[in-house]
Amino acid sequence: MKLFSCPACSHVVFFENVLCERCGHALGYEPETNRMLALDPDDGIFVSAGTHSDGSRWKYCANYQYGVCNWLIAGDSTDQFCRACRHNVTVPDASDPDNVARWRKMEIAKRRMIYTLIRLALPLITRDENSEGLGFDFLAETPGEPHVMTGHDNGLITIALTEADDAEREKRRTSMGEPYRTLLGHFRHEVGHWYWDRLVRDGNPGALEACRAIFGDDTEDYGEALQRHYQSGPKTNWQDEYVSSYAGAHAWEDFAETWAHYLHIVDTLETGHWWGVSVDPRVRDSGLLTTAIDFNVYRDEESIDDILDAWVALSAALNSFNRSMGHQDLYPFVVSETVKQKLGFIHDLVRGKAGA
Tens-digit pLDDT profile for the chain (356 aa)?
999 999 999 999 999 999 999 999 999 999 999 999 999 999 889 999 987 788 899 999 999 999 999 999 999 999 999 999 999 999 999 999 999 999 999 999 999 999 999 999 999 999 999 999 999 999 988 887 878 989 999 999 999 999 999 888 988 888 888 888 999 999 999 999 999 999 999 999 999 999 999 999 999 999 999 999 999 999 999 999 999 999 999 999 999 999 999 999 999 999 999 999 999 998 877 677 999 999 999 988 889 999 999 999 999 999 999 999 999 999 999 999 999 999 999 999 999 999 87
CB atoms within 10 A of CB 328: 10
Are the CB atoms for 343 and 349 separated by under 8 Å?
no
pLDDT at 316: 95
pLDDT at 145: 80
- Nearest Cα to Cα of residue 183 among 255, 111, 122: 111
Q: Helices 183-195 and 97-119 meet at what angle, rounded to 10?
A: 50
pLDDT digits (tens, 9 = 90+) for 200-242: 999 999 999 999 999 999 999 999 999 999 999 999 999 999 9
What is residue 339's three-state secondary structure? helix
Residue type, 99: N
Are the CB atoms for 36 and 5 separated by under 8 Å?
yes
